[in-house]
Amino acid sequence: MWRTIVKKELLETIFSYRFPLFAVICLLLVPLSMAVNQAAYAKRVRDYSDQVRLADEAAAAIKIQDIMAGTVAIRGFRRPAPLSVFTQGFESTLPRYYEFTQDGFKPGESATDDETILSVQGKVDFVFLVQMVISLIAMLFASDMVSGEKESGTLRAMLANSLPRDTLLSGKIGGGFLALWVPFLLAFLFGAVVLMFGAFPLAGGDTAVRVLIVLLATSLFILTYFTIGIAVSTSTSKARTSLVAILIVWAAFQLIVPRLGDMIARLAHPVRTETQVSLQKSLLVRSLDAETAKELGRQYDLIFKGAPEGAADNENSPERKKWDPIRDDIQNRARETKSQQLSAIDETYLQERRRQLDLAVNLSLVSPSAAFARFIADVCGTGELERAKYVEAVRSHQMALDNELFSKVKRTLMMHEGGGMSMSFSAQPVDASKLPRFTITPATVAETLKANARSLISLLVWLIAPFAFAYAKFVKYDVR
């Protein structure tokens, strides 16, 4: 009996005027969006390779004099995410690189320099199509599957044959969803073929597993919205009313709740921009350097006051033997203080970001669309998890460069009591070819699933709750 109902709903949907339109939309837009984003990804990879090559050449040509003068800024570039062909996420908003100096790191430019205003405001990628187009069509397909058949009298005729209502409802959901899923699956597979012809690294690493996760999660997302449409249809007695209610529910889930969550989080936990944090760190460095210079100048004047000429340059003079350990002690304490306070600024900023993000996520997960978008973005390496990994890699690389490069050069700036200033340098040899390379450790699939536990729970709840609601309504549904 259940198979008969599934077959009936499947055939009715296929032979309706809506099915060919949906099939054309899927088979045209899904592969096209993948192909366009594949071309954009290939361009970003070429730019990345050229920039890394130029940065490596500049790093290999580093001279100790440049380090002494403080003009060296080593750049670490982020490699574009291959699966950005499915969702852009933060791909175009994250800094393409970070600059590392003796005074810390700062973000470089983002990847939006050659974008148009329309492309920045809304990128048409796979996830956008699923969220904004396919989900709405799925709900519209389901809008009249109960209320419409009630108006036509078909529902009363079927239930007059002692057909269990739960069997009828599940058959409708199964047949209707299958009619939507088949053209979507064909479009997805066709898009994957297009990507492979475009030299997409589908077989590299865990990419194939992530693409499979994207397919499964998207299929469940479509089923969720189709079931929500069924739930709305069982709550109304007319197809026209179902249609209006579905549009309202879709707009709330797609447009209002996700953005409202972010707005509330920004108001409740405002966060400074990275530019403001970089400025705060720069001001701190200048202040500490000035204090250190004054203390060094004071100690220098006390030690070398009345000393024979040339005592400061003679390593064996009593004054120089007294000065060297004092200078090193002052500089070491200043370096530790600077490192601690800069780390405190970074940690405070990260805590602010985490508080805002946690609140935004918790509020937005009321919408299955927000949960789906966050999960897919992390699976594709363009979401919050990638941003956190990027920041973690930047901080680790700064520490490595401090140990391997910047600590090898000591600049001693002194501000004397009379207002004069002097500077001396000491440096150890540095092999630029052996400097650590900037790398980002990508999140594993297990880490991604763990980090998105809340999103997965939200999707699971929204998969079950509409069916339970629809079942409760349909059991008592008046078919007269």
pLDDT digits (tens, 9 = 90+) for 154-177: 777 777 777 787 888 888 888 889
Task: For residue range 424-437, list pLDDT tens digits in order.
Answer: 777 677 777 778 88
Greater model confidence, 305 or 264: 264
Least confident interval from 31-35, 367-371, 405-409, 458-462: 405-409
Helix axes 239-251, 135-142, angle to 10 degrees: 160
Measured between alpha carbons, how far is residue 299 from residues 230, 296, 334, 335 in Å? 81, 5, 15, 18
For the chain, give the percent of residues with pLDDT over 90.
22
Judge whether 191 and 30 are in contact, CB under 8 Å.
yes
Is residue 420 included in any domain, yes or no?
no
**Other CB atoms closer than 10 Å to residue 267's CB: what's the count?**
10
Answer yes or no: is 337 within a domain: no
- What is d(CA 272, CA 278) in angstroms, rounded to the nearest whole number? 10
Q: Hey, what are 109's tokens? A: 């430019």
Residue 446 has pLDDT above 80, yes or no: yes
Res. 68: pLDDT tops 60: no
Higher per-residue confidence, 337 vs 205 = 337
What's the average model confidence in pLDDT over 311-323?
82
- The dihedrals phi and psi of 144, each to the nearest 5 degrees, come to -115, 15
Q: Which pLDDT value is given to residue 390?
A: 92
Check residue 223 and give its pLDDT: 94
Radius of gyration of the chain from its Cα atoms, rounded to whole angstroms = 31
pLDDT-based confidence at residue 72 (cuts at 50, 70, 90): low
Residue 86 within any structural domain of the chain: yes
| pLDDT (0 to 100) of residue 121 | 47
pLDDT in the model for residue 118? 42
Q: Mapped to the 3 state alphabet, what secondary structure does 320-344 carry?
A: HHHHHHHHHHHHHHHHHHHHHHHHH
> With 50 as the cut, is the pLDDT of residue 230 above it?
yes
97 φ, ψ (degrees, to nearest 5)? -155, 165
What are the φ and ψ backbone dihedral angles of 414, each rounded to 5 degrees?
-125, 135
Task: Evaluate whether residue 266 is within a structural domain.
Answer: yes
Answer for the pair 116, 40: CB distance below 8 angstroms, yes or no. no
**pLDDT tens by residue, 171-193:** 888 888 999 999 999 999 999 99
Is residue 262 included in any domain, yes or no? yes
**Which residue range is the domain that position 266 belongs to?**
1-271+368-408+440-480
Q: Using 50, 70 and 90 to split pLDDT, how confident is the model at 479?
A: low
Which two structure tokens, joined as six digits, stand for 211?
């693409």
- Taking the C-alpha atoms of residue 366 and residue 465, their distance in angstroms, rounded to an integer, is 12
Task: Specify if 240 maps to a domain.
Answer: yes
Instruction: Decide if 432 is inside a domain.
Output: no
pLDDT band (50, 70, 90) for residue 108: confident
Percent of the chain with pLDDT over 70: 93
- List of residues 6+ apart from 131 with CB closer than 8 A: 254, 369, 372, 373
Q: Supply the pLDDT for residue 65.
A: 63
Q: What pLDDT does residue 414 have? A: 83
Q: Residue 366: is its pLDDT beyond 90? A: no
**Number of residues that make up the chain:** 480
Q: How confident is residue 320, by pLDDT bands cut at 50, 70 and 90?
A: confident
Lowest mean pLDDT among 44-53, 232-241, 420-429: 420-429
In contact, 432 and 60? CB cutoff 8 Å: yes
Q: Are strands 104-107 and 409-415 parallel, antiparallel or unpaired?
A: unpaired
> What confidence score (pLDDT) does residue 343 get?
84
Average pLDDT over the chain, rounded to whole?
A: 84
Find the mean pLDDT for residues 385-400.
90
pLDDT category of residue 67 using cuts at 50, 70 and 90? low
CA 109 – CA 359 distance, rounded (Å):
28
Confidence tier at 117 by pLDDT (50, 70, 90): very low
Q: Which range has the top average pLDDT, 1-5, 129-133, 165-169?
A: 129-133
Cβ-count burial 134-155 (b if 16+ within 10 Å, e if not): bbbbbbbbbbbbbbbbbeeeeb
Distance of CA 453 to the CA centre of its chain: 16
Tokens of 409: 């050069």
- Say how many domains are in the chain: 1
Domain annotation covers residue 304: no
Average pLDDT over residues 338-358: 86
| pLDDT, average across residues 325-345 | 87
